[in-house]
Structure 1
Amino acid sequence: MKTIISNGTPISYNTYGSGPATLLFVHGSFIDQTYWKEQVSFFKEKYNVVTMDLAGHGESGTNREVWTLQEMAEDIVNLIKELRLENVILVGHSLGANLILMAASAYPDPIIGFIAVDNFKNLATPLPPEYESQVDEIIANSKKAYAETNEHYARMVLLTEQTPQWITDKIVAAYRNSYEPMGQQTLPQFFTMDRIERAVLPSVKPRINLINVSYMPTNVAALEQNAVNGFALIEIAGTCHYPMLESPKALNEALDEVIDGVLEAKLAI
């Protein structure tokens, strides 16, 4: 495990393999870079593969008094700069997809591809007004009972009754045991992400490639309206938000297809 210092915090990362492009994998909320194990094994034979732990996650530091998604996106940019990465294809799962969107907007030059895994199912779309009171309730409940609120959210939104039990147990434990100061401060920011998406999408050069799981539908109309520089969607079968755990072979095949397309497009320029 290697580290850089970004925004005063140690950020843990690993590098594997070599090749014509760098695949930078960014995990989602409350999990860590080890979730990409099957992707690392598959892609390191062809590409330079980089994985990282977001601040407050995995082996990265927790020494921040103020936790913002903006700084987490800056950490991604700082890692790219520190490692002098070129021909970067960003791969982000869940929150990681939001963060790589912000990073690609802030530091576009080395970015040649953008892949979101099970995210942007309602791209740049605000919550309906009737859900606003539920948001307030979720935030209030998190302050009173953090672990229990996180578990409830994971079971209701990210997992289903059909999800294999070992995955359910792993995700519930990750959500319950996440670093509370980070979770408490970033939670309200999740509910304003639609505004950030609308603001940064026009400055993200690559097409938005989505690999989404069928357990929850994707709002294609929202993509057509808001993905101003184009999008492509691949859906894979699954019962939960974690295809890297449930369907690693299908995810690898979909990623391989998208990456091939990104590199073909670059060569054609």
Structure 2
Amino acid sequence: MEEIEVNGLSIAYSQYGSGNVTLLFIHGSYIDQTYWNDQMKYFQDEYHVITLDLAGHGMSGRERDNWSVEGLADDVIEFTKNLDLKNVILIGHSLAGSVNLYVATKYPDPIIGFIGIDNFKNAATPLPDEYDSQVISILDNLKKEFIATNEEYARMVLLTADTPEEIRQRVVQDYRNAYEPMGQAIMPEVFIMDKTEKALLPELRLKLYLINVSYMPTNMEALVEQVPNGFEVREIAGTSHYPMLESPEILNETLDQVIKQIIKYEAYKF
């Protein structure tokens, strides 16, 4: 693992392989780059593969007064510039879909592909009004009992009773160990991310590729309405929000197909 200073923080990252195309894997909230280990191994013989720990996560720095999703994206942009990455395919899980949406619209030149893993399931669509009280309750409970509320959220929303126990334990532990100052700032944004998506999805120059897990459906009508530059959804079976842990072989095969499609049809020129 390597380190680089980005926007005043140390960002931990790993890179393997070489090639004209860089696969930049960005993890979701409260977890870290090790969730991508199977993808790193699978793709490193053919591509330049990079994983990193977002600020406030994993081995990266936490010395920051103001936290936001856009701030995490700005780190990824500076990281991309500092390493002079070219022909980048962004691959983002969960919250990293929003992080990468900022990246791809603020710094589009080196980005040739955009792949979301189990995200944009209700693109640019606000939660129904009847959920307002639940959101208020979650945010209030986070302030009172951050660790316990994170665990409950992971168990109720991201995992199911059918999720393998080893995966459940790993995810729950990571959510319990989340850096609280970052989490308290980021979580309120998560519940209103539809506003950001509504503003930025029309600015995304690239086709939006999604690989989503069947445990929770994808709102296709919202994608048709909110993604004017094209999208493609591939669904894989699963019981949780973490296909890289639960079904790494299927995810790798699906990713491989999408990556090759991007290189062939979308943006890459040798």
Please, what TM-score do these two structures have when normalized by structure 1? Answer: 0.98
Matches of 2:16 and 2:107, distance apart in 1: 23
Matches of 2:83 and 2:269, distance apart in 1: 27
Matched, 1:68 2:68: yes
| Alignment partner, residue 27 of structure 1 | 27
CA RMSD of aligned residues (A): 1.1
Give the AA of the match of 1:84.
D
Provide the secondary structure at the position in 2 that maps to 1:65.
Answer: coil
| Alignment partner, residue 45 of structure 1 | 45
| Alignment partner, residue 169 of structure 2 | 169
Give the AA of the match of 1:183.
G
Provide the secondary structure at the position in 1 that maps to 2:124.
Answer: coil
Deviations 1:26-82 (A, max 9, x none): 000100001000000000000000111000000000101111111100011011100
Matched, 1:248 2:234: no
Matches of 1:234 and 1:93, distance apart in 2: 14
| Alignment partner, residue 141 of structure 2 | 141
Q: Which moved more, 1:130-139 or 1:117-126?
A: 130-139
**Aligned in 2, Cα 1:76/1:267: closer, same or farther, shift over 3 Å?**
closer
Matched, 1:158 2:158: yes
Provide the secondary structure at the position in 2 that maps to 1:171.
Answer: helix
Give the AA of the match of 2:141.
N
Matches of 1:64 and 1:268, distance apart in 2: 39
Matched, 1:214 2:208: no
Provide the secondary structure at the position in 1 that maps to 2:25.
Answer: strand
| Alignment partner, residue 187 of structure 1 | 187
Give the AA of the match of 1:180.
E
Deviation at 1:122, TM superposition (A): 0.1
Matches of 1:65 and 1:102, distance apart in 2: 20
Deviations 1:105-139 (A, max 9, x none): 00000100000000000000011111111111111
| Alignment partner, residue 198 of structure 1 | 198
> Does structure 2 retain, via aligned residues, the 8 Å contact 1:88–1:111?
yes
Matches of 1:92 and 1:267, distance apart in 2: 19
Deviations 1:205-233 (A, max 9, x none): 11000000000010000011001111000
Q: Which moved more, 1:108-117 or 1:182-191?
A: 182-191
**Structure 1 segments unaligned to the other structure (5+ residues):** none
**Residues 118-129 of structure 1 aligned to structure 2 (within 5 Å):** 118-129=118-129
Number of residue pairs aligned between Structure 1 and Structure 2: 269
| Alignment partner, residue 18 of structure 1 | 18
Q: Which moved more, 1:37-46 or 1:126-135?
A: 126-135
Matched, 1:116 2:97: no
Matches of 1:79 and 1:9, distance apart in 2: 11
**Structure 2 segments unaligned to the other structure (5+ residues):** none
Percent of paired sites with the same residue: 55
Give the AA of the match of 2:105.
S
Matches of 2:9 and 2:186, distance apart in 1: 17
Matches of 2:66 and 2:268, distance apart in 1: 42
> Does structure 2 retain, via aligned residues, the 8 Å contact 1:115–1:209?
yes
Matches of 1:135 and 1:160, distance apart in 2: 20
Please, what TM-score do these two structures have when normalized by structure 2? Answer: 0.98
Give the AA of the match of 1:105.
T
Matches of 1:198 and 1:161, distance apart in 2: 33
> Does structure 1 retain, via aligned residues, the 8 Å contact 2:124–2:194?
yes
| Alignment partner, residue 259 of structure 1 | 259
| Alignment partner, residue 235 of structure 2 | 235
**Aligned in 2, Cα 1:268/1:57: closer, same or farther, shift over 3 Å?**
closer
Deviation at 1:268, TM superposition (A): 7.6
Deviation at 1:20, TM superposition (A): 2.3
Provide the secondary structure at the position in 1 that maps to 2:210.
Answer: strand
Matches of 2:21 and 2:108, distance apart in 1: 15
Matches of 2:169 and 2:107, distance apart in 1: 37
Provide the secondary structure at the position in 2 that maps to 1:71.
Answer: helix
Deviations 1:213-255 (A, max 9, x none): 0000100000110011110000001000000000000000110
| Alignment partner, residue 178 of structure 2 | 178
